[in-house]
Structure 1
Amino acid sequence: MARQVQFDRTGGPEVLSLREVEAGTPGAGEALIRVDAIGLNRAEVMYREGGYFYDPVFPSTLGYEAAGVLEAVGEGVGGLTVGESVGVVPAFLQSEYGTYGDHVLVPASAVVPLPAGTDPVKAAGVWMAYLTAYGALAESGQVRPGDHVLITAASSSVGLAAIQVAHHIGAVPIATTRGAGKKQALVDAGATHVVVTDEEDLPVRVKEITGGEGVRLAFDPIAGPGVETIAQGIAPGGSLVVYGALDPRPTPLPNAHSFPALSTSTYTLFEITTDPERLRRGIAFVRAGLSSGSFDPVIDRTFDLTEIVEAHHYMESNVQVGKIVVTVTHGNEAE
């Protein structure tokens, strides 16, 4: 038997419950993971609430990321060794697979071998954040050494990863935060400049930082009407990449009569993780950054799997800086 988090209706964190279920046997193309740590993501909150881009199928599990040990593989799976440390990459629908449990089945194509001895808490905070930042900043080829990059809502795990990815490329990260309370944490995390948007005029401050030119790329998870303000700080010919929808209001296309010419696009991690060749490049990029020390996931706080409701409440509080990770205690560890 396995313990897995499931829910039967959309709603707040209280709809989540930890249940005993059959662990299952991996089918063709699947892998069974003994989970040691789970990385939480805003996408899972939206999915639980019924506001994600696809709907739950009840009873539904959830979760995109995990780190643990490979326990079994199904037919046709190669390149993986039972007993090795692995991570799980977001490359599937939560309505079909999930990582919130002590033993979970996932597609083998979403399993990445990790070096022996890898800290599972750190490993659980890698793939969603760094592959998301990699796709927009590096895979696209839009960001080059010396470019300025604007990273909004930068205290999130993706925002902090984007700061590190920008440095890895040789670009200059400008981070934003609404209140001054997180400013020092962003400086400590490597932001070259931090703009507190409740106190400073974002376009004016960006132009001051960039010598009047503006940023080459703005990387934004918020969307909504605020993109018009962001656009005013983008250099002519630059790019606005929207990768989230934290603001549910309609997102306008910046008016060509008001702003210099720029390209606007939406972006999701699945553009990388569902394309085997792009995923291979992304994994190689992230591994190189981890090996060199350029990438170091920022872990804000950990919870136990039995505290999953509290963990989701904490994520919704928006006080965290970095990744929230849920750890899993197995029976033999508790004895």
Structure 2
Amino acid sequence: MSRAVRFHEVGGPEVLRREEIPDPAPAPGELLIRTRALGLNRAESMPRRGEYGIDPVFPSGVGYEAARVIESVGAGVTGFGVGDAVSVVPSFTMTDYPMHGEAVLAPAHAVVAHSEHLSFEEAASAWMKFITAYGGTSWGRADLTALTGAALSASTPTAYVTEVAGQDPCARVVYRGTDGHVHELYYLGGTTSWGHGDLTAISGAPVLAQSAEPAKKEG
């Protein structure tokens, strides 16, 4: 037996339950992972609220990302063995493979070897935001990359993806502050994280310049 996070009705965080369930057995093409770290994104809260576009199947689990070691391997799986350290790439539906549990099944196509340069916590929190960034910036070279929702978790990965793709490493961020003004911030590229003022979700890089003007209403 192991613990898993599940819900039996849609609603707020209060509908989540930590339940004891039997350890699942991997079917062909699947791996059983004994987790150490789990990823938490907006995508985990939306199904619980009934707002994800895929109806939950009750009792429903949640979670797209997890990391630690393989406990057992299903038939036909190659390239992985018991005891291998791995993380999970979100390329499936949570109704099929919920990750928020102590022992979880994952399709082999969504499992990757764990990098020795990352902690399990870092590995379990990286894939969703970098895939989001890559999916939104998979195009040719441009003079400007606009980061909308700049305080969201995918903003820093987007800066990296655009820089690797050959974009100008100096980023321009435009956001509306709580003071009702539109602010423009300029940053040097190649930093781990960035932020200023209302951009509280990410912090670190030097602000090169800042300007502000009253927000203009359209129409």
TM over 0.5: yes
Letter of the 1:182 counterpart: D
Aligned to 2:100: 100
Q: Structure 1 unaligned runs (5+)?
A: 203-228, 230-335
The answer for the alignment partner of 2:57 in structure 1 is 57
Of 132, 140, 164, the residue aligned with 1:168 is 164
Report if the CA contact (8 A) 2:65-2:89 is conserved: yes
Which whole-Å CA distance do the structure 1 matches of 2:102 and 2:211 have between them?
41
SS in 2 for 1:99: coil
Match of 2:149 among 134, 149, 153: 153
SS at structure 2 position matched to 1:94: coil
Kept in 2, the 8 Å contact 1:164–1:190? The answer is no
Closer/same/farther in 2, CA of residues 175 and 194 from structure 1, 3 Å limit? farther
For structure 2, which runs of at least 5 residues remain unmatched after alignment? 179-196
Q: Distance in 1 between matches of 2:56 and 2:78?
A: 30
Q: Pick closer, same or farther for the CA change 1:63–1:183 going to 2, 3 Å.
A: closer
Is the 8 Å Cα contact of residues 153 and 176 (structure 1) preserved in structure 2? no
Letter in 1 for 2:204: D
Per-residue CA deviations over 1:161-215 (Å, capped at 9, x if unaligned) read 112222222324333444363347656258878888x95559xxxxxxxxxxxxx
Amino acid at match of 1:188: G
Distance in 2 of aligned mates of 1:112 and 1:191: 36
Where 1:174 maps in the other structure, the secondary structure is strand
What residue identity is the alignment partner of 1:174? R
Letter aligned with residue 111 of structure 1 = V
Going from structure 1 to structure 2, the CA distance change for 1:188 and 1:200 (only over 3 Å counts) comes to farther
* 36 and 65 in structure 1: CA distance in 2 versus 1, 3 angstrom threshold: same
For residue 54 of structure 1, give the secondary structure of its aligned residue in structure 2: coil
In structure 2, the residue matched to 1:68 is 68
Matched length: 199
Which whole-Å CA distance do the structure 1 matches of 2:133 and 2:202 have between them?
16
Q: Over residues 43-80 of structure 1, what are the superposed CA-to-partner deviations in whole Å (9 max), with x where a residue is unaligned?
A: 11111100111100000001111111111110111111
User: Counterpart in 2 of 1:48?
Assistant: 48
Q: Deviations over 1:83-139 (max 9, x none)?
A: 1211111111111111111111111111111134630111111111111211221xx
Q: 1:182 aligns with which of 195, 198, 201?
A: 198
Matched, 1:80 2:80: yes
Deviations 1:1-20 (A, max 9, x none): 11100000000011001111
Q: Percent identity?
A: 42
User: Structure 2: how far apart are the matches of 1:194 and 1:58?
Assistant: 50
When the two chains are superposed, the root-mean-square deviation of aligned CA atoms in Å is 2.8
Change (3 A) 1:117 1:32: farther
Corresponding residue of 2:192: none
Distance 2:149 2:128 in 1: 16
CA contact (8 A) 2:7 2:16 kept: yes
- Whether the 8 Å CA contact 2:150–2:199 is kept in 1: the answer is no
- Secondary structure of the structure 2 residue equivalent to 1:167: helix
| Deviations, residues 244-268 of structure 1 (Å, cap 9, x unaligned) | xxxxxxxxxxxxxxxxxxxxxxxxx
Q: How does 1:273-284 map to 2 (within 5 A)?
A: none
1:230-289 Cα deviation digits (max 9, x unpaired): xxxxxxxxxxxxxxxxxxxxxxxxxxxxxxxxxxxxxxxxxxxxxxxxxxxxxxxxxxxx
What is the distance in 2 between the residues matched to 1:111 and 1:163?
25
Structure-1-length-normalised TM-score: 0.54
Q: Which has the higher helix share?
A: 1
Conserved? CA contact 1:176–1:195, under 8 Å: no
Shift of 1:31: 0.6
Structure 1 partner of 2:130: 130
